[in-house]
Amino acid sequence: MKVSDKYVAQLLAEIMLAKGIKEIVFSPGSRNAPLINTFAARPDFDCSTIVDERSAAFFALGMAAQSGRTVAIACTSGSAMLNYTPAIAEAYYQKIPLLILTADRPTEWTDQSDGQTIRQRDAFRNFISGSYELPQHPDTPDNCWMTNRLINEAINKCRFPVPGPVHINLPFAEPLYGTTETEPEKPRIIYQPKLNYSIADDDLRQIADLINNTEKVMLLAGQNNGDIRMNDALRKISALPQCVLLTENISNLDNKNGVACIDKLLSVIGESRQAYAPDVLITFGEAVVSKRIKTFLRKHRPKHHLHINAAPDHPDTYQCLTHSIHSDASEFFNQLAPLLKECSSNYHQQWKEQCTIANRRHKEYLQQCPFSDLKAYELIFDKLPRPADLHLGNSSPVRYGQLFEHPEGIRHFANRGTSGIDGCLSTAAGAAHLSPNLTVAIVGDLSFFYDSNALWNNYLNKNLRIVVMNNGGGNIFRIIPGPSDTDHLETVFEARHQRSAIALAKSFGMNCFETADEQTLLEVLPRFLNPAAEGPALLEIRTDGPRSAKVLNNYFKYLETGRV
Ligand SMILES: Cc1ncc(C[n+]2csc(CCOP(=O)(O)OP(=O)(O)O)c2C)c(N)n1
Ligand SMILES: [Mg+2]
């Protein structure tokens, strides 16, 4: 086997393999030739090449989110590596493991007016779980020992204490293309066993007492991977009369006992919200999409807020945190569930009654609502086959997604770590690459054009379906309060345009579908969503932007009052 003669590249490859990192996404360059020549030569690595580093990093993020495995990305020096930044920030806030390998000029050339040379060390320091630089030529026993230790530590940090992105900057001196046939020696591996975070008995008992003696306990799930053990425990807890479990579809929890569409419910509850405010709030998982619940809880602050989070930080989202519980949420709820008892309360029942009203009004409104974004989402969600992976773009698609109860068998993804529109499509393409399921990405038109380089790679699987909800601009700015009151709504906020997503997708050789009305959409969907059909495929749905915004605003009015 002919690999790079750079010792650092060989060692890195050996330790990555020993630690189970096999997937690597390259972007082309010369400074990273030692990495390319080492990894691409070894059949045990699964290498992909994507030219645009921004897209490559999101693609890798999607692979890691889908598989749960650490995925590596590797690029050349200079601005190439800075293009990784949006996906790294997303991985950091969403807690997704990525190993970022950036090749660099020798350290002594930084800031010396040499080509393609920028300050790379610690460049991602604000959004990274660990940042390392390896020696150029580990030529003494102590240097070799240190290099080995640093690589082990960096890779371990991709998963501990919580998953996240880790950066290794690798300065390489020329010549860059030298190779060797010698078998690399087996490196020393530093193992880091998985932890079982459990709460001390005394503390657990106190938490159980609090829940057993409180009439209003709200559990609020943020973005999650879904976990059978967690579902089992939560099913028992959320059935208690004093408890209500609020989930969003990106929490990926089965929630028959609780409340699944938070914004819908809070609209129905309207002014009488105080009665629904909890005394104890238990939160877990990552981002929550619903802005209404955040406003509601910040206004009606519970006496106790327990946040379950294995990371050592204290996110105080509702400005009332009283317990920062550093545990794995599944472990915590499984420890807690057997200690809980019913308390005399109608809190659970109260929420369920509002659910019934919300679901009835939702149905009534949709039955008579004209073709618009809302109507199109209803039809798509209704026709999704199962199992399927659903990637909801920012920011309207993920918000619309929360208004519908999705059946079991659909796994939800969204880039809610930073809520960017810059990589939703590339993320979905990466996830589809490793998923056995039909993978449906729904993005807005601006998000689609922003990340259209997602189509520029050789790894678009036939299971990938892209829906572009083309409402002619950033419709979110017609929905949120503020932009409509300015003179710049269409030109700046909305950035109105006449572009066609299909015209672009055709140039990438995709199967394309188009619709601008309900009837055609209903005809197209079964063909487009057929898992056995040849993909990848793109469906462009053209809607009227101003009308879509009006339909959504009236929807919320109808939920609130029962009339438009
Ligand atoms: C990288 C980035 N730039 C800007 C924004 C701000 N932003 C949020 S939504 C949005 C418009 C999205 O428009 P589109 O994709 O067409 O979706 P729509 O709201 O029309 O459904 C913009 C510019 C962002 N979230 N991320
Ligand atoms: Mg749009």
Quote the pLDDT of residue 141: 94
For the whole prediction, is pTM greater than 0.95? Answer: yes
The residue whose CA is least distant from atom 17 of ligand 1 is 444
Q: Which tokens hold the place of 337?
A: 């569930």
CA torsion through residues 95, 99, 103, 108, sign: positive
CATH of domain 3-180: 3.40.50.970
The per-residue pLDDT for range 170-192, each reduced to its tens digit, is 999 999 999 999 877 889 999 99
Residues with CB under 5 A from ligand 2 (ion): 444-445, 471, 475
Nearest one of 258, 537, 299, 252 to 416, comparing CA atoms? 252
- Burial group, residue 117, by CB count within 10 angstroms (0-12, 13-18, 19+): middle
Quote the pLDDT of residue 127: 96
416 CB-side CA count, 13 A? 23
What per-residue string of b and e applies to 30-66 under the rule 16 or more CB within 10 Å gives b?
Answer: ebbbbbbbbbeebeebebbebebbbbbbbbbbbbbbb
The per-residue pLDDT for range 218-230, each reduced to its tens digit, is 999 999 998 889 9
Ligand lying closest to the C-alpha of residue 475: 1
What's the chain's average pLDDT?
96
For residue 123, what are the CA distances in angstroms to 27, 30, 85, 157, 214?
18, 20, 9, 17, 48
| CB of 447 shorter than 6 A to ligand 1 | yes
507: β partners:
none
| CB of 474 shorter than 6 A to ligand 1 | yes
- Mean pLDDT for the stretch of residues 211-239: 95
Quote the pLDDT of residue 177: 97
Biggest CA–CA distance in the chain, Å, is: 78
The per-residue pLDDT for range 447-469, each reduced to its tens digit, is 999 999 999 999 999 999 999 99
- Mean pLDDT for the stretch of residues 461-481: 96
Q: How far apart are CA 382 and CA 74, in angstroms?
A: 40
Would you say domain 201-354 falls under CATH 2.60.200.20? no
For residue 493, what are the CA distances in angstroms to 5, 395, 469, 477, 479?
52, 14, 17, 6, 11
User: How far does residue 497's CA lie from ligand 2's centre (Å)?
Assistant: 10
493 DSSP 8-state letter: I
Contacts of residue 454, defined as CB under 8 A and 6 or more positions apart, other chains included, come to: 55, 58, 59, 423, 425, 426, 428, 429
- For residues 319 and 298, the answer to whether their CB atoms sit within 8 Å is yes
Domain spans, the chain: 3-180, 201-354, 369-561
The per-residue pLDDT for range 53-64, each reduced to its tens digit, is 999 999 999 999
- Mean pLDDT for the stretch of residues 385-395: 96
Same fold, 201-354 and 369-561: yes
| CB of 475 shorter than 6 A to ligand 1 | yes
Ligand 1, atom nearest to 443 Cα: 15
Pocket test for ligand 1, best of 416, 446, 492 (most atoms within 8 A of CB): 446
Q: How far apart are CA 455 and CA 306, in angstroms?
A: 43
Ligand 1, atom nearest to 545 Cα: 20
- Mean pLDDT for the stretch of residues 8-37: 97
Nearest one of 465, 479, 485 to 537, comparing CA atoms? 465
Q: How far apart are CA 241 and CA 18, in angstroms?
A: 49
Nearest one of 354, 312, 303, 376 to 522, comparing CA atoms? 376
pLDDT of 103 higher than 80: yes
CA torsion through residues 483, 485, 491, 495, sign: positive
User: How far does residue 414's CA lie from ligand 1's centre (Å)?
Assistant: 14
For residue 251, what are the CA distances in angstroms to 82, 261, 269, 397, 405?
31, 11, 22, 16, 12
Q: Residue 562: phi, psi to the nearest 5?
A: 85, 5
What count of other Cβ atoms lies within 10 Å of the Cβ of residue 564? 12
Q: How far apart are CA 564 and CA 557, in angstroms?
A: 6
User: How far does residue 447's CA lie from ligand 1's centre (Å)?
Assistant: 6
| CB of 476 shorter than 6 A to ligand 1 | yes
- CATH number assigned to the domain with residue range 369-561, chosen from the 4 options 3.40.50.10540, 3.90.1560.10, 3.40.50.970, 3.40.50.2300: 3.40.50.970
Contacts of residue 2, defined as CB under 8 A and 6 or more positions apart, other chains included, come to: 37, 41, 179, 180, 181
Ligand lying closest to the C-alpha of residue 444: 1
CA 96, distance to chain mean position in Å, is 8
Ligand 1, atom nearest to 420 Cα: 26
392 DSSP 8-state letter: E
Ligand 1, atom nearest to 470 Cα: 16
Contacts of residue 282, defined as CB under 8 A and 6 or more positions apart, other chains included, come to: 217, 218, 219, 220, 305, 306, 307, 308
Share of the chain above pLDDT 70, in %: 100
The per-residue pLDDT for range 123-132, each reduced to its tens digit, is 999 999 999 9
Q: Residue 141: phi, psi to the nearest 5?
A: -55, -40
